[in-house]
Structure 1
C-alpha cells in the first residue's frame, strides 16, 4: 500500500497539474509544484491542501484522507508568519507526523531578536541589533552604521531592498516608519556585515548532515560585499542576468569549512531546530563569521540553493524529499516514545 502524503500549503499557492520549464521559472508556485510532482512520481498518494485561516479544513482532510505524514509548506496562517508554529502544534496535538521543524524551534528562530539573544548567550557571533516595536518613539540606537532594517518576525526577505541598508539616522528612521506603515509589524535594525554571504543547509533531528556552503556572487565571481541576497536578486530573472548574479558552492579552505560546519550545528542546536533548515552567514574582511539568520523549513524548490547543495553531494531531488519525509516520521516516533 502506497504511503499517503498530504501537502499543506497556502491556498493561493496550489500549483497547476503541469508547468512548462519557462512557466515554472516565472511561477510563484515552483516549490509547491516541484514537491507535488516529484512525490507523485515517487508513487506516493498525494493530496495538496490549500489553507488560509480555517484550521477545520485540516481536520476534515486528515479524517478523510488519513495521511501517513503531512508535508508542511506553510509559512504563515491567517496572514501572520508567527502563527506557522501553531499549525505544527495543531498537527502534534492530533498526533499526525509532519515534515520540517517543531513548534518550539519555529518560535525561537522566527523571532529574530529572541534568536539573536540565544545565539549571543551561547557565544555565537551575530550582528548587534535594536528592536523598534510598532508605535514606539524612534531613538538612535548604540549601533554602528551601516545598518540593515528588517521586519522583526516575518519571513527574512519581506520588505528587503537596497533601501533597507541605511547610513544615517534620517534614513534609518525613514525605513523603520516604512516597515511599520506598510507591513504593520515591529522592525529590527542590525549592523550590516560587509563581505561574503553563505547559505548552509542542514538535515537531521539529533544527528545532523551539513550540506556544502552555497555562496551568493555578483558578475559570476565577486562577493556581494555591501549588497545582499534580496528577493529581486533571487527571483527576478532580468535583474539576475543584468547583475550577473549566481549562487554556487563556496570556495573555502578546509579549516574555514569546518568552522562553518561547527557554527551551523551549534546554531541549529541552541535554537532547537529539527528536520531541515538553512543558516545564513556573512564573513567579513577579517574572515570572521556572523550568523545572520536561521531559517527552519526553507525554500526547497529543486533549483534553490538548498536542493542544489544537496545535489552536489549526490542527493538528487527525489531523494532529498524522501529524506525530509523520513526525518519527519522519525521525529514523530521519537516524540511519541517520549
Structure 2
C-alpha cells in the first residue's frame, strides 16, 4: 500500500488537540470523528496534516502549495457556518485538481436539499413522504393538501438538527408554530413531511460507479408507548443517556421480510446514482406496515467515527475500521478515473 500525504480538512473548531489520547477524556466527544479518522490514517502509515477551515480557503491553498498532499480527506460539514455551502470547498478541490474523499459538488447540492431530492426521486417513481416547503421570509401557508401528522424540520441541516418531539404536528396551528420556530432558530427554510409509521433503516453505500451495499442498520424503539411517534430527534441521535432511558438503540436489522434486503439494495443504488453521489453515503428508509419502502433522505458524507452506523456496517461486512478509511481514500483517488 502506497503511503500518502493526507490533508485532513475539518472545521476550525474541530482540529483534535495533540494531547488527546485517552478515550475517557471529556473532550473526546467533541473531536471523536476527527480523532478516529486521524488515528486510522496514521495507523495505516499515512502522513497527516490537519487543516482547520471556517470561511477562508487560504489554509487549504497554503497547505496544498507547500506540502503537496496526495489527497484531501474532507470532514467539513459546512462553510462559513452554513451547511448548504459545504459544496464550495469541494468545488475548490476540483478547481485546484486536489483529489478528495467523499461526495462531489453536484451530489452535495442535490442531496443536501431535501425537497429537491424528493422531487427527483418522485419523478423517477421512487416512493417517499408527501411534503411541502416553507421558505424563510415568506408567509407561512400551505400550498399542498396532505394528511396529518407531519414532521417539520430544516430543509438542509443534517444530524437531526432542529428535530424534537414538537416537530411532530397534528394540525395547522402546530404546523405554523413549528415552521416559524425552525426558520427563526436555524435561519433557513423548513420542510414538512408526512409522518410514516414503521421501521427506520439506515443503509450505507460505498463506491463511485460500482456500488457496495453494507449491512443494514435499524433504529429501534423498544419502550415507546403505543401511539407515540417514533422519530430520530436530536436527543435520540446524540444523547446516549436519553436513548438508554427510553429503550432506543441502534442495531443491525433483523427479521426483514423475504426479498426486502435485495429490494433495499437495488433502491439504494438507484437513489445514489440519480443524485449523482459518490465516495460513500447513507440512504434512510421507513418501512410501512404494508411493506412499502419510503426513502426519507440521502446523506452524502455521513458520520464515520468508529462507533457511527456507517463504520459499524463496514466492520460487520468484514472490514476493519482502518480498512474502511483506506477504502474511502481509494475511492477519492479513483474518482473520475476508474475504481
Normalised-by-shorter TM-score class: over 0.9
Q: Cα 1:26–1:193, aligned 2, differ >3 Å: closer, same or farther?
A: farther
Aligned residues: 335
1:122 has 2:124 as partner: yes
**What residue number does 2:217 align with?**
214
1:196-275 mapped onto 2 (5 Å cutoff): 196-219=199-222, 226-251=229-254, 252-275=256-279
Q: Cα 1:166–1:25, aligned 2, differ >3 Å: closer, same or farther?
A: farther
Conserved 8 A contact 1:195-1:225:
no
Post-superposition shift, 1:82?
1.4
Aligned equivalent of 1:49, options 48, 51, 56 = 51
Q: 1:69 & 1:334 partners in 2: Cα distance?
A: 16
Find the residue that maps to 2:77 and give its secondary structure: coil
Q: Cα 1:248–1:221, aligned 2, differ >3 Å: closer, same or farther?
A: farther
Post-superposition shift, 1:15?
1.4
- C-alpha distance after superposition, 1:117-139 (max 9, x if no partner): 00001111111110110121222
Q: Cα 1:220–1:144, aligned 2, differ >3 Å: closer, same or farther?
A: closer
Q: 2:223 & 2:21 partners in 1: Cα distance?
A: 29
Post-superposition shift, 1:71?
0.3
Post-superposition shift, 1:225?
7.4
- C-alpha distance after superposition, 1:247-288 (max 9, x if no partner): 111011340111111111110010010000000111111111
**What residue number does 1:187 align with?**
190
Conserved 8 A contact 1:278-1:295:
yes
1:1-338 mapped onto 2 (5 Å cutoff): 2-17=3-18, 18-23=20-25, 27-140=29-142, 141-219=144-222, 226-251=229-254, 252-334=256-338
Q: 1:41 & 1:11 partners in 2: Cα distance?
A: 23
Q: 1:224 & 1:8 partners in 2: Cα distance?
A: 44
Post-superposition shift, 1:235?
2.0
- Which runs of no fewer than 5 residues in structure 1 stay unpaired? none
Runs of 4+ in 1 over 4 A off after TM superposition: 220-225
Deviates more, 1:8-17 or 1:85-94: 8-17
User: Structure 2 length as normaliser, TM-score?
Assistant: 0.94
Find the residue that maps to 1:22 and give its secondary structure: coil
Q: Cα 1:306–1:220, aligned 2, differ >3 Å: closer, same or farther?
A: farther
Q: 2:258 & 2:326 partners in 1: Cα distance?
A: 30
Find the residue that maps to 2:237 and give its secondary structure: helix
Find the residue that maps to 1:28 and give its secondary structure: helix
Find the residue that maps to 1:320 and give its secondary structure: helix
Find the residue that maps to 1:217 and give its secondary structure: strand
Q: 1:102 & 1:224 partners in 2: Cα distance?
A: 41
Q: 1:58 & 1:237 partners in 2: Cα distance?
A: 35
Conserved 8 A contact 2:162-2:234:
no
